[in-house]
Amino acid sequence: MRQRSLIAITAALTAGALTLTACGSRDDSKDKDDAGGGGTTVVIGVDAPLTGDLSALGLGIRNSVDLAVKQANKKKYVDGITFKMESADDQGQPSSGQTNATKFVANKDILGAVGPLNSSVGESMQKVFDDAKLVQVSPANTNPAMTQGPDWNGGKKTRPYKAYFRTATTDAIQGPFAAQYLYNKAKKKKVFVIDDKKTYGAGLAATFKDEFTKLGGKVAGTEHVNPDTKDFGAVATKIRNSDADVVYYGGEYPAAGPLSKQMKKAGAKIPLVGGDGIYSADYIKLSGKDGKGDYATSVGQPVEQLPSAKEFIANYKEAGYKEAYEAYGGYSYDSAWAIIEAVKKVVEDNDGKLPSDARAKIVDAMQDVSFDGVTGKVSFDEYGDATNKQLTVYQVKDTADPAKGWKPVESGTFTG
């Protein structure tokens, strides 16, 4: 009996071990087929600053759209359709953006455009695209008037362009959120407000100042600067001579970085704060050690914290792009994917083929697009704004490695 028991135990152990091993096995087969979905080619245009001071952000946008196109083809996401990307460089200039928009419109294969980075550039493109019923989705334009009209703040909100959408949160939230953080949390009570006179910078500075003063904060001074100059000696002296305990800059990092450095060298040892336009590793490169302690708000939550972004981050890395996806990578991927979803809807509603009026139908379909994207649920409200409105305050904690210098200090979700 005893021997039989031992043999039985031995057999059971062996069988168990083999079973456990079998349970742990995985299918490591990979689908290496990344061919497109079929014979018809649909081109997605991308407009962003691919050269010049803002190229770090622009190249992150282009690469992320490229990744979305490749993923759609790899997955054969739209039966019968192969997507392609065509990029155009606006160098951050409205006139270049408008020229690029005209070129996109002229190319009948382009059925949607992603971009641009700058609100001022976006404004120059909106009408061109809208007239041609070519859908445009910006991952980065934050000026509220672009979707809600010039009277968005207090007046009647009216959507100026039906073909324009964006995945980024607007400055109507970004500026006040920064004001709340600085006044209530960082205990800053006197601000020196500077802007670069551009659509984005001036608009953002205005929304910040409005909320900061409503909370009880004081404005110690205001200045407008030319973002093309890098000498801010005069304004740095004014800041030093004011009793401001914080500087708010409405503009972008190519000017904000040197401004931070120069005002601190001049003796104004107070933090500079800006919006998503300064949230870049390049800001830290430009401000150097003096940038430590500065703040920026940016649209969305840190992509690394989003469970939905894991696959995007892994695929971006695997694709081997030279440039980082930067602040707008996730939003750019989602912008492109929204176009892909709209194309899918239009094709499926037309017996698997593109209709002759595909552009107009894609604009209509975009309004009802809804999917789980890199940045969370992607859909659009009646103005074309993203329904997912999150934002984060970051602070420069370390300047040794600019790519890792910004750290999140506060995140918020607009649920109104």
Partner 1 sequence: MNAIGPVEPGEDTYDHESIPAPPVRRLSPRRARRLRTALTAATAAGIAAAGVTLYLTRPEPPPEPLPPWPSQSVSVAYAGEMSRPRAGERNLTFAVIFRQGSAPPTTVRRIAQPSAALSVTASPPTPFAVKTGKPRKLIITMHIRECGEVPRNAGLPFLEVTLRNARANEKHSYILGPEYANDLSGALTAACPRTRVS
58 versus 330: smaller Cβ distance to partner 1: 330
**Contact indicator for 215, 184 with CB cutoff of 8 Å:** yes
Name the segment binding partner 1 (CB under 8 A); options: 6-14, 55-63, 79-87, 221-229: 6-14
Q: How big is the site for partner 1, counted in residues (CB under 8 A)?
A: 43
Instruction: Choose, by CB under 8 A, the member of 70, 185, 265, 362 that binds partner 1.
Output: 185
Interaction residues for partner 1, span 115-174 (CB under 8 A): 173
Residue 305 lies near partner 1 (rule: CB under 8 A): yes
Given candidates 29, 229, 356, 415, which one binds partner 1 under the rule CB under 8 A? 415
Residues 23-52 that bind partner 1 (CB under 8 A): 23-26
Q: What is the nearest approach in angstroms of partner 1 to the Cβ of residue 407?
A: 14
- Residue 186 lies near partner 1 (rule: CB under 8 A): no
Contacts (CB under 8 A) with partner 1, residues 309-348: none
User: 185 or 397, CB closer to partner 1?
Assistant: 185
Q: How far is the CB of 168 from partner 1 (least distance, A)?
A: 16
CB 300, CB 330: distance < 8 Å: yes
Candidate ranges 133-141, 180-188, 252-260, 281-289; the one touching partner 1 (CB under 8 A): 180-188
SS3 for the chain is CHHHHHHHHHHHHHHHHHHHHHHCCCCCCCCCCCCCCCCEEEEEEEEECCCCCCHHHHHHHHHHHHHHHHHHHHCCCCCCEEEEEEEEECCCCHHHHHHHHHHHHHCCCEEEEECCCCHHHHHHHHHHHHHCCCCEEECCCCCCHHHHCCCCCCCCCCCCCCCEEECCCCHHHHHHHHHHHHHHHCCCCEEEEEECCCHHHHHHHHHHHHHHHHCCCEEEEEEECCCCCCCCHHHHHHHHHCCCCEEEEECCHHHHHHHHHHHHHCCCCCCEEECHHHCCHHHHHHHHHHHCCCEEEEECCCHHHCHHHHHHHHHHHHHCCCCCCCCCHHHHHHHHHHHHHHHHHHHHCCCCCCCCCHHHHHHHHHHCCCEEECCEEECECCCCCECCEEEEEEEECCCCCHHHCEEEEEEEEECC
Choose the binding region for partner 1 from 107-115, 259-267, 283-291, 299-307 (rule: CB under 8 A): 299-307
> What minimum distance in Å lies between the beta carbon of 206 and partner 1?
12
Q: Of the two residues 184 and 226, which places its CB atom closer to partner 1 in the complex?
A: 184
Q: Choose the binding region for partner 1 from 49-57, 111-119, 315-323, 406-414 (rule: CB under 8 A).
A: 406-414
Of 370-389, binders to partner 1 (CB under 8 A) are 376, 389
Task: Find the shortest distance in angstroms from Cβ 392 to partner 1.
Answer: 10
CA distances to 27, 268, 271 from 265, rounded to whole Å, are 59, 7, 13
Residue choice 18, 234, 319, 403 for contact with partner 1 (CB under 8 A): 18
Among 20, 29, 39, 318, binds partner 1 (CB under 8 A): 20
Site string for partner 1, 215-244 (x = CB under 8 A): xx----------------------------
| Count of Cβ atoms closer than 10 Å to residue 400 Cβ | 9
Of 17, 234, 314, 319, the one binding partner 1 by CB under 8 A: 17
By the rule CB under 8 A, 100 interacts with partner 1: no
The single-letter code of the amino acid at 6 is: L
Q: Write out the residues near partner 1 by the rule CB under 8 A.
A: 2-3, 6-7, 9-10, 13-14, 16-18, 20-21, 23-26, 173, 176-177, 179-181, 184-185, 210-211, 214-216, 301, 305-307, 376, 389, 410-416
